[in-house]
Amino acid sequence: MSGLFGCIDRAEVPSEVAKTLYYGIFSLQHRGQESAGIAVNHDGTFMVHKQAGMVADIFDEVTLNTLEGRCGIAHTRGGEETGSDAIQPVLIKSRVGNIALSCDSVILNSYDIRENLKNLGAIFQTNTDSEIILSLFSRNRIVTDDCEHALLKTMQEMEGVYSIIMMTEDKLIGVRDPHGLRPLALGRKDDKWMLSSENCAFDALGAEFVRDLEPGEIISISNDGVESLFYEENKTSEQRVKDGKVCIFEYVYVARPDSFIDGTSIFDSRYKTGMALAKEHPCDCDLVIGAPDSGNAAALGFADGLGVPFGMGLLKNRYVGRTFIKSTQEQRELAVRMKFAVLKTAVKDKRIAIVDDSLVRGTTTKHIIRFLKDNGAKEVHVRLASPQVKFPCCYGVNASAGKDLPAKTMTDDQICEMIGADSLGYISLDSLRESLEGIHCGTCSACFDNNYVAGLPTEDPETVHKVTYN
């Protein structure tokens, strides 16, 4: 997945938009550490600075001062390693002016679209979704009255999941796919209007969270105001939201604990999941710890549910990124070894219950259990705040095939033995869903139940997001 942020300043004398964009994607760094970029519109001239690496390493005061403009978009990318071509934002010059785009997307029919456009004379230089979206949009913009209807026509031709922030020469535009799998939120601070993957970026900037975009919504912000267009105009706002299917992994792992997505607090949902897990899979233990950081809220709920102390057992190296979204298995294993240290006096001679958000490949969990036992833990019981991940996700979670998922081919007892735990327990999908109290829409849980709400990729060997589904 990726983190998107956009800002337009409608004040007569705009302030430092580039720095707002910087702090925006800095707050979204947890969504990806592969690359980052910022593009700004300076009186119709578009400027961009982007490269591989972390946000703080890419931008400095001098660079940000050169990125002058009243509107801009930013991106931080995670997931599959695809080289410099995948670094966003992407800028093009079209017949209707300059366009810049940041997206968090998986276009399932990308192969078919690419081939059709090639037959019409289009030239592609990368295998990225962003290039497909821009090519479609540019073609549709010529035959439509405005950018919003060009985007609507583009959405009608694309199958998949996406959130998009686009910058034209006079507008900032946000798009959320009709299924609502990808989050996108609207915020405001004085004359600055903002779009972000998560509202935690608004909090960091002292901005007001206005609302989540509805599934299938195109929101356009300019000096003339804020307007919306909808993919399904025949539905009411309540129906569009109710029919939405936000990715359940946002609540399990991806989003920051202080964020709210579609009406639900990430922290509260994880805490309630931990409470439910204590009822479904209790254990005899002396101390409950969380796998930092996304397991901490569930671990606190689990400890409260058991009536057992919650404490520190692991230290996290803050300078190592998220191991789950590293590109290769070798990178993930090295990152785990660099990432965690054990508080020996806290775990020595104790029965430890460690609560983690999920077990996808098992690499991190296996190493953590070994660390704990090597440092004196008497027993290590693993509890997971999500069900068994049995199916690969073609919507952005980085697990490329069923063979990479232990729960696909192994029993819970076999997985317990593989990771070296004394016991293992997963929360049920029903209990996980019940923990999302207050959510305005439904969820996609394909990785747990094999129900791919947005469909599957085009079955062709050259498909960019080819995944094995059996």
To the question of domain 265-448 being in CATH 3.40.50.2020, the answer is yes
Whether 92 and 126 have beta carbons less than 8 Å apart is answered as no
Would the pLDDT of 75 be above 60? yes
Residues in the chain: 470
Residue with tokens 């033995």: 417
Question: Where does the chain hold its CATH 3.40.50.2020 domain(s)?
Answer: 265-448
Would the pLDDT of 469 be above 60? no
The Cα 299–Cα 311 span in angstroms is: 9
The stretch 291-317 carries a mean pLDDT of 92
Whether 112 and 173 have beta carbons less than 8 Å apart is answered as no
Residue with tokens 């094995």: 468
pLDDT in tens, 138-173: 999 999 999 999 999 999 999 999 999 999 999 999
3-state secondary structure of 234: coil
Question: Where does the chain hold its CATH 3.60.20.10 domain(s)?
Answer: 2-106+165-243
Would the pLDDT of 34 be above 60? yes
- Of 75, 40, 35, which Cα lies nearest the Cα of 51? 35
Homologous superfamily of 2-106+165-243 in CATH?
Answer: Aminohydrolase, N-terminal nucleophile (Ntn) domain (3.60.20.10)
Q: What is the pLDDT of residue 465?
A: 40
pLDDT in tens, 257-273: 999 999 999 999 999 99
The stretch 31-49 carries a mean pLDDT of 95
String of DSSP letters for 164-215? EEEE-SS-EEEEE-TT--S--EEEEETTEEEEESSTHHHHHTTPEEEEEPPT
Q: What is the pLDDT of residue 78?
A: 83
3-state secondary structure of 267: helix
341 token code pair:
């240290």
Q: What is the pLDDT of residue 463?
A: 40
- Of 353, 348, 342, which Cα lies nearest the Cα of 289? 353
Mean of the per-residue pLDDT values of the chain: 90
Q: Are strands 2-9 and 287-290 parallel, antiparallel or unpaired?
A: unpaired
Whether 267 and 278 have beta carbons less than 8 Å apart is answered as no
Q: What is the pLDDT of residue 248?
A: 96
pTM score:
0.91
The Cα 385–Cα 432 span in angstroms is: 8
Highest mean pLDDT among 30-34, 208-212, 288-292, 310-314 belongs to 208-212
- What confidence tier does 437 reach under pLDDT thresholds 50, 70, 90? confident
Q: What is the pLDDT of residue 152?
A: 97
String of DSSP letters for 52-113? ES-HHHH--HHHHHH---SEEEEEEE-SS---GGG-S-EEEEETTEEEEEEEEEEETTHHHH
User: Which stretch of 27-31, 131-135, 206-210, 397-401 has the lowest confidence by average pLDDT?
Assistant: 397-401
pLDDT in tens, 415-426: 999 999 999 999
Q: What is the pLDDT of residue 458?
A: 72
> How large is the angle between the packed helices 110-119 and 129-142, nearest 10 degrees?
50
The stretch 307-320 carries a mean pLDDT of 84
